[in-house]
Amino acid sequence: MRKPKLGLGAMGMSEVYGPADRGESIATVHAALDAGVTVIDTGDFYGMGHNELLLAEALRGRPRESYQLSVKFGHLRGPGPVFGGMDGRPEAVRNFLAYSLTRLGVDHIDIYRPARLDPAVPIEETVGAIKEMVDAGYVREIGLSEVTAETVRRAHAVHPIADLQIEFSLLSRAVEAEILPTLRELGIAMTAYGVLGRGLLSGRWRAGQPTAPDDMRGTSPRFADGNVQHNLALVEDLRRVADAKGCTVAQLAIAWVAGQGADILPLVGARSRERLSEALAALEVRLDATDLAEIEKSVPVGAARGDRYPTAFMSNLGTDS
């Protein structure tokens, strides 16, 4: 898979961070493509298909070879904000894929990945079913999302895995211990989501800031009273480094992730052209050894307070922090 320096995560254009402007979302996708961003990440369960339909509209008329679609599947949902686990059965893989191809209006998905591990289905069976879709021409490459190093190895033995999508930021660095070394040993890339800590590292979040009813940050442990004040104090220390570099806190956080290796693709969830422009400018920020040491001093490994997801979601993640 061709790797640009930045990918666009489209989830927030449909849900989880409160209301989004449809016209601005589409304009942001257009601006990203025009700027050379080619990887666009979505999930068939984002907004119950809304996100895929939105992208179909945004991508209409664009040459198919000019963008790459990364699609997650498998999360089961009910009406309202109800999640009902994962379905990684081979027959479900084919079913989910058929719906995604139709909603997106394309004849293939560039990289297709289960959103989480289905504990009831061996990963070999899920990946084997995607492999059949690769052989049939409906999928180009296979990816994974939020799984352990052991699961990566098992999946890779069935079919080469293109990349693992997992949370990685200055506030979430557990992947450095085992997962990232495993990926590099096997020649697998990493797509890093949550690079701004869902807004904590944006430099704009404030303690006590109200959230919309459908904004996931209202139930996120890292945004809970007590935790958020601690985490924002880390951000203020980071702001000192950013000011010295002449960039924003968000740009510094993105530049740090981008600088961790050419095999890591930062995924930014920009919902507006303004935020996208800020993120793209982060790619021009160069961090030397002194900068990295100052960043480490400001936000040491494990410094964040609070889990990255509510307790109910923590058991199916690739790392526990």
CB-neighbour burial class of residue 154 (10 A; exposed 0-12, middle 13-18, buried 19+): middle
Residues 6+ apart with CB under 8 A from 222: 171, 197, 198, 200, 228, 231, 304, 305, 306, 307, 308
Count CB-CB contacts under 10 A for residue 191. 26
HEC string of the chain equals CCCCCCEEECHHHCCCECCCCHHHHHHHHHHHHHCCCCEEEEECCHHHHHHHHHHHHHHCCCCHHHCEEEEEECEEEECCCEEEEECCCHHHHHHHHHHHHHHHCCCCEEEEEECCCCCCCCHHHHHHHHHHHHHCCCEEEEEEECCCHHHHHHHHHHCCEEEEEEECECCECHHHCCHHHHHHHHCCEEEEECCCHHHHHHCCCCCCCCCCCCEHHHCCHHHCCCHHHHHHHHHHHHHHHHHHHCCCHHHHHHHHHHCCCCCEEEEECCCCHHHHHHHHHHHHCCCCHHHHHHHHHHCCCCCCCCCCCCHHHHCCCCCCC
Rg (CA), the chain: 19
Active-site residue, 46 included: yes
Single out the catalytic residue among 17, 46, 67, 138: 46
Residues serving a catalytic function are 46
